Amino acid sequence: MKKSSMLTWLLAAVFMLTSFATFAKEFKGVITYKVTIEGADVTDEMKAYLPKSMTMTIKGNKSRTELIMSMMKTVSIADGDNKTAITLMDMMGQKFAIQSNYEEIMKEMGEAPEAKVEVTGETKEIAGYVCKKAIITIAENDQELIVYFTDELGSSELNFDNPMYKDINGVMLEFEMPNESFSMKFEATSVEKKNVDDSEFTIPEGYQVKTQEELKGMFGG
């Protein structure tokens, strides 16, 4: 896969990651995930470029998801109360912020392929939590994705803007983001309860605010 195509897919994945998990209002803290790359076409160069870990910081119905790659850092912020999202991107010092309101998010959701959720009776312990297994079927290509989630940390309120996982009623502690030639698998390694400052969920100084269309145009996508 060419680097430009991989970057375009990563940008799309970042927007989808904006709100893949939900949390109870009582939960404050950080979840750390191990990231592994799977697929027949995966090369050592791709592994070096793609992230090896992810963190999610939570305060009530707000979440901040952070991925660090070799040349880019991305942060996805979701507000489950106001139904808004922010994506921050730092590409070798070029810093951009993309804000999405409810109407914009719903428009994108309506254009996404239909996803059906089937919760099975299987469970698996991840990071100290017993997680339920769910099978996500993407109607467009009949693709199946496996998810493990727990409702001990929250409900589906913050999943409102994720077309694949919006019907998952809990926090996903193991899931994957697919691509035509490979997928990134995320598995939680720790859940730490701690206080979180409100500044974690705002746009820092030094970021240029762009629309999604403007950013995609900058990268030929």
Secondary element (H or E) of residue 147: strand 143-150
Distance in angstroms (rounded) separating the CA atoms of residues 36 and 57? 20
**Could you identify the residue written with the tokens 């998990």?**
21
Tens-binned pLDDT, residue by residue, of the chain (221 aa):
555 566 665 666 655 555 454 444 478 889 999 999 888 778 888 888 888 999 999 887 888 999 998 889 999 999 888 899 999 999 988 999 999 999 998 898 888 888 999 999 999 999 999 999 999 998 787 889 999 998 888 667 767 778 888 888 888 999 998 877 788 899 999 999 999 999 999 999 999 999 888 887 776 65
Q: Cβ(166)–Cβ(156) under 8 Å? A: yes
Q: Output the pLDDT for position 6.
A: 61
Distance in angstroms (rounded) separating the CA atoms of residues 45 and 69? 12
Q: Output the pLDDT for position 66.
A: 96
Task: Report the predicted TM-score, pTM, of the whole model to 2 decimal places.
Answer: 0.82
Q: Output the pLDDT for position 25.
A: 44
Which whole-number Å values give the CA distances from 176 to 37, 83, 102, 141, 188, in the listed order?
10, 23, 25, 16, 12
Q: Output the pLDDT for position 15.
A: 57
Q: Cβ(23)–Cβ(60) under 8 Å? A: yes
Residue 137 amino acid letter: T
Q: Output the pLDDT for position 22.
A: 41
